[in-house]
Amino acid sequence: MSSPIAAYEGVVGSAVLRQLRQLGEKLTGTRIVHVNSTREGGGVAEILEWMVPLMNDLGLQASWEVIHGDPRFFEITKSIHNGLQGHNVLLSGKDWRIYEDVNARNFERLRPVLEEADVVVIHDPQPAHLLQLCDRRKGKWIWRAHIDISRPFRPVWKTLRTITEKYDASIFSMAEFAQLLPHPQFLVPPSIDPLSEKNRELEPSEIEAVRSEYGLDPSRPLLVQISRFDRFKDPVGVIAAYRLVRKVAPVQLVLAGGGATDDPEGKAVLEDVMEAADSDPDIHVLLLPSSSHRAINALQRLSDIVIQKSTREGFGLTVTEGMWKGKPVVGGDVGGIRLQVVNHHTGFLVNTPEGAAHRIRYLLHNRSRIGEMGSIAREVVREHFLLTRHLRDYLTLMLVLSKDSREHAFEV
Amino acid sequence: MTPFEVKDCALLIRMSGLAPASNLRELRDRIAVCSGNALFHHYCETTLRTTFDNPDYRNDFAVWAKLYLGDRVLAERLGILDPYAFHTMGELRAATLEVIDERLGELTMVPWARPGDELFFMESTTVVFDTGIRIANPSRLGATIRKMTNSSVYFHFLEARRRPPMQVDDFTSWLMDCGEEYRPYIDAVSSIDFYFNSLGFLRRELARVLASVKGTK
């Protein structure tokens, strides 16, 4: 039976796997423990699902621990999460004590593994307090912030800063998401798994079945934006861009995202989208269940151009996914989209519906550019935004921490 | 002939610890005090990032001046600075500051970037490791380069210029030690204008020009 990492050889090539194995050899036996707050659901769990087995495959002793808490704890950590992202939230002293108490109960359960680990990676704020409880720790502790904390609600950050600044290092997805902390702050962008349901190659018959299911016309160009119904994703702006293009080209538009029934804001945005769509038969607003990975995969593959016209964005992994399918992306000039979309190479950065319409018209008028830019986009993702690069960054980080130096280069 | 030891490297980027620059004067002040590693990162390690494919300029300062300060004059002046032409980071820093000071003297207002468009100073740590691959003869160099990772090409062909012997890549350095009969290989390697190309292109181009030497022998 081949190893988990070997499955990626066909995607990234043997040289990249050789590089990972060589880095892994230098870390053989290193005990690394990841801690987060959920085993299922959410981006962090998705990362750890592949990262832990691949690290083990490369010779490390990786494990994944999850902290447990009652609903009140998770309400509090949700408020911390929102506060870090700039929302005005109310957290009392009692709330912070509940946060600490739940961390303390989890620490008693996890104490042996945390004390013995060579490297502990604490993901997001929920388990961050564990560090202060582990006074007999032997290894390095890293705080991994997956969210943008550049403009936090100050009272929340003021408290959390006292916790996170004691770590040996922290990791952010982008410099723009970070706060200055008194320890090394590393930058590791997220990634996609090319073999996941959302990104793997699909049979043409399956793709065509999705086309039929949603009534898409194969003879006309298709624009696709995949994202939840959120004002910052500007779905109404996408419709405005579509209407400008529609005056000169017979395009179709798909706006597909997760259900919004339990999210009052999402529901309101969806209503605005439906009103803006005005029953246009060529605007397909699709509310898909969270498990619709293959349908989303197929829709991205069916598209001529992927749109992500966000006015505010985290890293924008839907952009990465679209690029991996070989599509040029017309994306908002914000957040991580800027790291991925390079004008005239992998797509276009835009600021307005008019700008998006202009670039879409350019691409539809120069059809060969769609293929050329899509091809570059796929290679950019292969080089920079697949999980193999993500894994390499983590292995490199462990080697850098073991050296404990700020030298520009060193040999291992 | 000593075999060529193929090495590889992995870069880890970190924040420099400096506050981001939001206008030209802050850019000047940060460049004046940033580490040599930060300067090297923003001038030379751009090849390892996606944004390297920006068609206009090859260093972060020039790109930022154009895109976010809206100062094309400054962008052009910074864009032409070739970091590999300077013997030390100190010389490169002085040249950069000279360009910015000159521009500040010409302007009646200090150009600034919008919130969210600041320039963040970063630097990196490079972890180097031996791949175990050895090249016994220059005739095998091109074929081996073809199978290298981009980071291996970066380490031997670009980063090497920062190590002694300064401004010489590792391939050329090795070929020079191999003897005068390998001069055509050295000429082939030096025929590539490395500054304007991506690592993938450089890898293919190095393999191509070295293969063509072999074909003429």
pLDDT of the residue at B50: 61
* Cβ-defined contact of B14 to A180 (cutoff 8 Å): no
Q: Are strands A222-226 and A305-308 parallel, antiparallel or unpaired?
A: parallel
Note the pLDDT of residue B216.
Answer: 46
The pLDDT score that the predictor gives to residue A31 is: 97
One-letter-per-residue 3-state SS of chain B? CCCEEEEEEEEEEEECCCCCECEHHHHHHHHHHCCHHHHHHHHHHHHHCHHHHCCCCCCHHHHHHHHCCCCHHHHHHHHCCCHHHCCCHHHHHHHHHHHHHHHHHHCCCCCECCCCCCECCEEEEEEEEEEEEEECCHHHHHHHHHCCCHHHHHHHHHHHHHCCCCCCCHHHHHHHHHCHHHHHHHHHHHCCCHHHCCHHHHHHHHHHHHHHHHHHC
Confidence of residue A118 (pLDDT cuts 50, 70, 90): very high
pLDDT in the model for residue B55? 59
| A271 has a pLDDT exceeding 50 | yes
Q: Which residues of A touch B116 (CB under 8 A)?
A: 176, 334
The confidence band for A77, taking pLDDT boundaries of 50, 70 and 90, is very high
B102 or A343, greater pLDDT: B102
With vertex at residue A346, the alpha carbon angle to CA A354 and CA B23, rounded to the nearest 5 degrees, is 70
Average pLDDT for chain A: 93
Q: B105 CA to chain A: closest CA distance, Å? A: 30
Closest residue to B147, CB basis, from A15, A397, A408: A15
Kindly list the residues from chain B whose CB atom is less than 8 angstroms away from the CB atom of residue A188: 12
CA distance B67 to chain A (A): 11
Residue of A nearest to B131 (CA): A22
Query: Min CA distance, A343 vs chain B (Å)?
Result: 7
Residues 6 or more apart whose Cβ sits within 8 Å of residue A281: none
Nearest CB to A185; choose among B14, B55, B147: B14
Q: Is B104 exposed, middle or buried (0-12, 13-18, 19+ CB in 10 A)?
A: middle
- Cβ neighbours of B130 in A, within 8 Å: 411
Residues of B in contact with A184 (CB under 8 A): 14-15
Picking from A172, A395, A400, A407 by the largest number of B CB atoms within 10 A of its own CB, the best residue to mutate is: A400
Cα–Cα distances in Å, from B53 out to A191, A326, B56, B197, B199? 20, 17, 9, 9, 11
Out of B12, B126, B152, the one facing A393 most closely (by C-beta) is: B12
Please check the confidence at residue A65 and state whether its pLDDT lies above 70. Answer: yes
Which among A180, A380, A396 has CB closest to B127? A396
The whole-angstrom separation of Cα A197 and Cα A199 is 6
pLDDT score recorded for residue B217: 45
**Percent of chain A having pLDDT more than 70?**
98
- Contact list in B for residue A334 (CB cut-off 8 A) is 116
Per-position pLDDT tens, chain B of length 217:
899 999 999 999 999 999 999 999 999 999 999 999 999 999 988 877 765 555 578 899 999 999 999 999 999 999 999 898 898 999 999 999 999 999 999 999 999 999 889 999 999 999 999 999 999 999 999 999 999 988 999 999 998 988 888 789 999 999 999 988 999 999 999 999 887 777 888 999 999 999 998 654 4
* pLDDT at residue A134 greater than cutoff 90: yes
Q: Which fold has domain A4-191+386-403?
A: Rossmann fold (3.40.50)
Contact between A396 and B12 using a beta-carbon 8 Å cutoff? yes
**B70 in A contact zone (CB under 8 Å):** no
pLDDT band at A261 (very low <50, low <70, confident <90, very high): very low
- Chain A positions touching B131 (Cβ under 8 A) are 18-19, 22
A181 confidence band (pLDDT: 50, 70, 90): very high
Mean pLDDT for the stretch of residues A43-55: 92
Asked if the Cβ–Cβ distance from A396 to B10 is below 8 Å, we say: yes
What pTM was estimated for this model as a whole? 0.91
CB contact under 8 A, A187 and B53: no
A260: pLDDT strictly greater than 50: no
CB B5, CB B136: distance < 8 Å: no
Q: Taking residues A118-131, report their average pLDDT.
A: 97
Which B residues, 144 through 203, put their C-beta within 8 Å of a C-beta on chain A? 147-152, 159, 200
Closest CA to B116 of A340, A265, A37, A175: A175
Asked whether residue A342 carries a pLDDT value surpassing 50, the answer given is: yes
Write down the ipTM of this complex: 0.89
Minimum distance, in Å, between the CA of residue B50 and any CA atom of chain A:
7
CATH of domain A204-384: 3.40.50.2000
Per CB-CB distance under 8 Å, the chain A contacts of B128 are 409-412
A383: which chain B residues are within 8 Å (Cβ-Cβ)? 50, 150, 200
Sheet order of strands, A185-187 included: A61-66, A31-36, A119-123, A140-144, A169-172, A185-187, B4-15, B122-135, A409-411
The residue written with tokens 């924040």 in the block is: B15
Among A391, A398, A408, which would you mutate to test the B interface (most chain B Cβ atoms within 10 Å of its Cβ)?
A: A408
Mean pLDDT of A148-172: 95
The A-side interface with B (CB below 8 A) comprises 15-16, 18-19, 22-23, 26, 172, 175-176, 178, 180, 184-188, 334, 338-340, 342-346, 376, 379-380, 383-384, 392-393, 395-397, 399-400, 406-412
Domain boundaries along the sequence of chain A: 4-191+386-403, 204-384
